[in-house]
Amino acid sequence: MNDYLYSRNITKKYLLMFFCPIYNMMNKTELLEIIKKLLKTDADLDFLLNLPESDLETLVVCIRERFDQLGKQTL
* pTM for this model (two decimals): 0.63
> CA 38 to CA 64: how far, in whole Å?
8
State the pLDDT at residue 14: 54
State the pLDDT at residue 1: 46
Tens digits of residue pLDDT in 1-59: 445 544 444 555 555 555 555 555 678 898 899 899 989 999 999 999 999 988 888 89
- Any idea of the CA torsion for 59, 60, 65, 66, to the nearest 10 degrees? 60
Sequence-distant (≥ 6) Cβ neighbours of residue 45 within 8 angstroms:
32, 35, 36
> CA 57 to CA 35: how far, in whole Å?
10
Residue 62 has pLDDT above 80, yes or no: yes
What are the extents of the domains in the chain? 2-73
